[in-house]
Structure 1
């Protein structure tokens, strides 16, 4: 894949980042570092609590913990380099590293979209087919669904990134973005990029449109089922179960549709750069809070874990005394 470096003038790219606010580098570094650490800690907490508490050993929390893992990997492909730009001004990134970053960004992003579609399907079965939920969402089915999400994400990411990496890059080498995104990279190629841009548009369309289509169909059925519930309390409980998921979907799908689902990937770079912050900084910080930390089951699990640790400390102290 990287043999193309022998046939191109460009050996490294320069990530421009946010040139308008370069004088605020240290402040932006601190803000983004705190956001990154908060996201990693929040998602890691979700994974730890899910696996430690047997009450959360359900399909929904299995999918949520997998989604949290993907979120941690996703932001790690982008944020560390952005922090280096803010702190030290080190904007250079090698040819191979740039395309590796582009691949993992697309791979993990697509996987996250498919996982959100699976979460929608899980909520549909739990609300609309409660009697059959346990038999349908078995451990084997859950594992197969997660494997399918990763496989689809990988397959959809390989083709456009490999095709783009095989084009010629003669210069300039400045990427007007804070990471190696597909559109800005395509703009720098001195080859004809129409075919590879249409390929990427098709991949982005499938990665976003299929999960959105599944979500729309599923939540239409959920709304119909909820409206038919006889008790207002039951309706409120069912809506609250879905509200977190819908908020996260709106944030991520909205920004991604704005950035990627357009045939011409080289336009509106400044707006794309700002919208990309929603996916790479804002959403990963908010998702742990929106999805599970406001959930009663997770609150109970956290209180149980905290009580257990306090009890351990008390026992240890008494033994020492």
Structure 2
């Protein structure tokens, strides 16, 4: 979450008249994240999230995201569907951007997950995958394997401004991952971005899975690999926290199961996920405007994860 587009109070107050959502009391921009502009909105009837979509989120993809959330909500998954206005519309335009008013979910995101929290989060991902078994809409992964080489080339030699010889290091790693990328694994709709800040918790229990704006159709095990890299390391990516790793994997397997071929593919999928998040973080690091109300994230934290996965292989998931 972030704020790139400012919404004047008068504009927001007028926007809310389209809904049965009460009158505006307050609105506050949310700085975490890097993708969309988000506001925490309090009204006379409750609390909501207002999201304005920009940067990598295309308006053409919003119907897929909204259908996915509606599908999961109908199956009692802890997700925040968009709220329809009085005319039944979920997707709007506000301040020149596509926008949705979204149900607020209770809970907080954790910064250093405990094993118990990781187990619950892994189980939540497993239950989500089970609920998506009959979801038939398809969206290609806009940040999938085919996108990494073009993004690396766009970053180009500027990567070496972050660290010496960084372009060559990632170029080699990407070639190795591409050559080893698995075929024939189960595909489904996936979240593709289930970091701790996209999971809401009360104590050890999951109360919300949020920010589905990278959701797509891809290898199901890739979702687990992405989550492992986000949950099982310290923020700087220097240490694999094995108790958290084990709990996350156990929670997922207990809730949904994990095929032998999916488990065997996790090391290369995790390396690919590291490259994907390194590249998008590096691009943002190099190109985010200085005055944007946004928290930039260190791309080198994912280079360190990549090196640990390269060194440990399957042992990283034991």
Fold-level match, TM-score > 0.5? no
Structure exhibiting the larger radius of gyration computed from Cα positions: 1
TM-score w.r.t. structure 2 length?
0.23
Of Structure 1 and Structure 2, which has the larger fraction of its residues in helix? 1
The structure whose RCO (Cα within 8 Å, separation 6+) is larger is: 1
